[in-house]
Structure 1
Amino acid sequence: MSGGESRLLGRWGEALAAEELRRRGCRLVEAGWRCRFGEVDLIAEEGPFLCFVEVKLRKDGRVAQAREFVDRRKQEKLRATAQLYLAEHPTQLQPRFDVVEIYAPQGLATRAPEIYVIPDAF
């Protein structure tokens, strides 16, 4: 898969995740927020929480569940990125880190991808 195809698939997955979060009552605040520490796929408000969401899209979970790819190193990058976001965007909301797993066996051609939201994943 080329870099362009991979980015397209990633953006498609993030759009699916955003749609699922909205369906669950979240308000999307940011998508693809970047800083010197990294990128947060989605930032959403849900009740008293400001959710920093990592989206992981895979064809299947045979090798490992998608959430397992959010390893300690990735978690540290997300925490640092969230700290900078919060410094630039003060809020009374409590930060939370969520993971959205998406399984799409046929990639963009998948008619009904499986989507799992894991609140407070780490």
Structure 2
Amino acid sequence: MAHNTELGRRGEDLAVEHLEARGMRVIDRNWRCRIGEIDIVARDGRDTVFVEVKTRTSADFGHPFEAITARKLARMRRLAVAWCEQATEPVGRIRVDAIAVLAPTGARTVVEHLEGVS
């Protein structure tokens, strides 16, 4: 379990680097409420972006994006609403993105970003 936690944290760190390199500003990480957790909340211009990050060391059991199901996206939409309800600054438009991090041991890490998945 510690390996998975460490891998997930590494993937989220790489996702943050990716988003910031694209000019986005991360405003929250690992935000939790009673219904779940949002990995990353970022600002992209006036938009508030809720990002689900999936990290894998290989695609042996499927691509990381395959783990983001319709059920997971529905939960992300509910979480986005909950986050917006407690926000202290204007939210603007909201968007749900997904980032897949494929980080094989001893090989180059690949970060893929899909915008507006929900």
| TM-score with structure 2 setting the length | 0.91
Q: Which residue of 1 aligns with 2:97?
A: 98
For residue 7 of structure 1, give the secondary structure of its aligned residue in structure 2: helix
The answer to whether the Cα contact below 8 Å between 2:84 and 2:91 also exists between their aligned partners in 1 is: no
- Partner amino acid, structure 1, of 2:83: Y
- State, as a whole percentage, how many aligned pairs show the same letter: 31
Gaps of 5+ in 2: none
Q: Is 1:33 matched up with 2:31? A: yes
Q: Is 1:118 matched up with 2:114? A: yes
Q: Is 1:46 matched up with 2:44? A: yes
For residue 25 of structure 1, give the secondary structure of its aligned residue in structure 2: coil
Q: Which residue of 2 aligns with 1:78?
A: 76
**Inter-CA distance 59–68: structure 2 relative to 1 (3 Å threshold):** same
Structure 1 residue 38 displacement after superposition? 0.3
CA RMSD of aligned residues (A): 1.5
Structure 1 residue 116 displacement after superposition? 0.8
**How many residue pairs end up in the alignment?**
117
| TM-score with structure 1 setting the length | 0.88
Structure 1 residue 121 displacement after superposition? 1.5
Structure 1 residue 93 displacement after superposition? 1.4
Q: Show CA shifts across 1:20-44 (max 9, x none).
A: 1000100000010000110000000
Structure 1 residue runs of 4 or more that deviate by more than 2 Å after TM superposition = 59-65
Q: Distance in 1 between matches of 2:76 and 2:35?
A: 8
Q: Show CA shifts across 1:76-100 (max 9, x none).
A: 2111111110011152411100001
